[in-house]
Amino acid sequence: MCQKKYVTDLLNRFNMSNCEVAATPININEKLQREDGTEKTNPRLFRSLVGGLNCFTHTRLEIAFSVSVVSKFMHSPTKQHFGAAKRILRYVAGTVDFGVWYSKVSNFKLFGFTDNDWARCLDDRKSTSSNLFSFGSGVVAWSSKKQETIALSSSKAEYTAATSIARQALWLRKLLADFSYEQIEATEILCENRSAIAMARNPVFHGKTKHIHVQHLFIWKLVIDGKIVLKFCGTNEQAADIFTKSLPQDKHQFFRPQLGVCNFESTGSVE
């Protein structure tokens, strides 16, 4: 799936067809906030740009996190917010021919990744959760959003994120069963926080877990029933990282093909 014409029109609309391209959609460790000390900018123009980028995330999921960050300032954008949105467009300008490539896989098995960036938002200190699902080819479902509650530790934020992806996994398993592709084995979800994995496997109420809301505790049942299994993966293998934080160029380009995003001019070969 590719939206080359759409993004070409978007670049023309904002007079950025010949702009200097950016290697990544967001600056490393950039954290935007409501009051950043810069002047306000044209809100209608900002909303038009962010809205256009949001529609583009259907086939360019690697910009989903960056777009979600700038989307928080639609009501009162500043020049810094507008600059961050234009940087996403400058990244897109250098990857116009990219899209999501889906290919046939021999082992049609659902698996996912979950990640979290604890207390990322400077305005309310809520964490950012992300997840993705794949069958071994392009990603078929993904999410990058702020958590509704404030987590008191990174482990609790990771546990909340894991619970969210478990609900999504349960829905996808039921959907696949309707299509006669029932997943017999437990769906693997890769997480980089060992404490969150331990809490899911042995959810005993003690000092570290008693503050977690009951709605997040149903993951116990999914693990016990063999529908979900949480497994550890290192930070360098955590593909969901691209949905929670700004990454350096080499790491961004490493995770991008793992999402199935590649250059269509190279006949879908992953670079």
Average pLDDT of the residues in 226-254: 91
Q: Are residues 127 and 174 in the same domain?
A: yes
Question: What pLDDT score was predicted for residue 82?
Answer: 95
Does any domain span residue 250?
no
The domain in which residue 176 lies consists of 111-241
pLDDT digit string, tens, across residues 65-116: 999 999 989 999 999 999 999 999 999 999 999 999 998 888 889 999 998 8
Does any domain span residue 57?
yes
Q: Are residues 154 and 87 in the same domain?
A: no
Domain count, the chain: 2
Average pLDDT of the residues in 205-213: 53
Does any domain span residue 257?
no
Does any domain span residue 248?
no
Q: Are residues 76 and 180 in the same domain?
A: no
Question: What pLDDT score was predicted for residue 195?
Answer: 81
Q: What is the DSSP string of the chain?
A: ---HHHHHHHHHHTT-TTPPP-SSSS-TT----S--SSPB--HHHHHHHHHHHHHHTTT-GGGHHHHHHHHTTSSS-BHHHHHHHHHHHHHHHTTTTEEE-----SS---EEEEEEETT--TTT---EEEEEEESSSSEEEEEEEE-SS--SSHHHHHHHHHHHHHHHHHHHHHHHHHTT----SPEEEEES-HHHHHHHHS---STTTTTS-GGGTTHHHHHHTTSEEEEE--GGG-GGGGGTS---HHHHHHHGGGGTEEEGGGTT---
Does any domain span residue 116?
yes
Does any domain span residue 86?
yes
Q: Are residues 73 and 175 in the same domain?
A: no
